[in-house]
A and B are shown apart, each in its own frame.
Chain A
Amino acid sequence: DAKTTQPPSMDCAEGRAANLPCNHSTISGNEYVYWYRQIHSQGPQYIIHGLKNNETNEMASLIITEDRKSSTLILPHATLRDTAVYYCIVRVGSGRIQGAQKLVFGQGTRLTINP
C-alpha cells in the first residue's frame, strides 16, 4: 500500500471549515483514499473514501487532486466534537479479494477545534 504524509497537528476555530491535507504521491491506479478519525480512547470511525472523483457525505467532503497525489478532507463547520486524530490511508478498496485490503495506519493529524 502507498504511504501517506500528513501534518502532525492542526488547529481550527469552531464553526470554521477544517481542511486536512494528505500527500500520497506513490498511490497506484487501483488504490482508494480513505479517511478515518479516532477520538481519544475510542475505536477509529470511518469518515469517507474516494478513488478519483470528489466525494461528499453527511460528515465531510473529500477533494482529490487530478493527479491523485494528494487529497484534502474538509469538515465544513467544525465543532468541538470533531477534535480527534485524523488518518488518511490508501489501499486497494474494491473487489472480493479477501484478506488483501487491510488498513495500515500512519501517524495521522491531531486536529484540535478551539472554541
Chain B
Amino acid sequence: GAVVSQHPSWVICKSGTSVKIECRSLDFQATTMFWYRQFPKQSLMLMATSNEGSKATYEQGVEKDKFLINHASLTLSTLTVTSAHPEDSSFYICSARAASGSTYEQYFGPGTRLTVT
C-alpha cells in the first residue's frame, strides 16, 4: 500500500525559533499533499493544500507567512512553522494523494508532535 512518512516524529523547540517538518511519499508520486493540525481531543483541521511546483492554498484563518509550505518534488513537501510560539504546539499530520483506478485516495503520515516551550 501507499506509505507516507514524516520527519521528525516529535520535536521540542524554544519560542521564537522555526521548525521544519518533512513529509514524503515513499512508494508513489503525490502531485497533491495536504497539511493538517490536530489539538488534543479535537479533530483534524485542514491547514493547506499544496500542489507540486506551485504555491500552497491555505484554509481560511491559517497564516501563510507563519506556516510556510514547500512542495518542490512529487515525493516531498515541507511545512515550516516560523517563529513558533506555545500556542503552535500541536500534532501536525501530512497527507498525500495517489491515483487509485478512477479515484484519488489520500494517505496519511504518522504525524509530528510539536511542543514549543
List A residues at the B interface (Cβ < 8 Å): 32, 36, 38, 41-46, 49, 87, 93-94, 96, 98-99, 101-108
Contacts and interface: CB of A to CB of B under 8 A. Distances in A.
Interface in B1-32: 4, 6, 31-32
Contact of B93 (A43, A49, A106): A43
Nearest to B105: A46
Interface class of chain B by DSSP: strand
Contacts of A38: 44
A101 B97 CA distance: 10
A41 B43 contact: no
29 contacts: A32-B103, A36-B108, A43-B6, A43-B93, A43-B95, A43-B108, A43-B109, A44-B93, A44-B95, A46-B107, A46-B108, A49-B103, A49-B105, A87-B43, A93-B104, A94-B102, A94-B104, A98-B31, A98-B51, A99-B49, A99-B57, A101-B97, A102-B46, A103-B106, A105-B36, A105-B43, A105-B45, A106-B43, A108-B43
Contacts of B97: 101
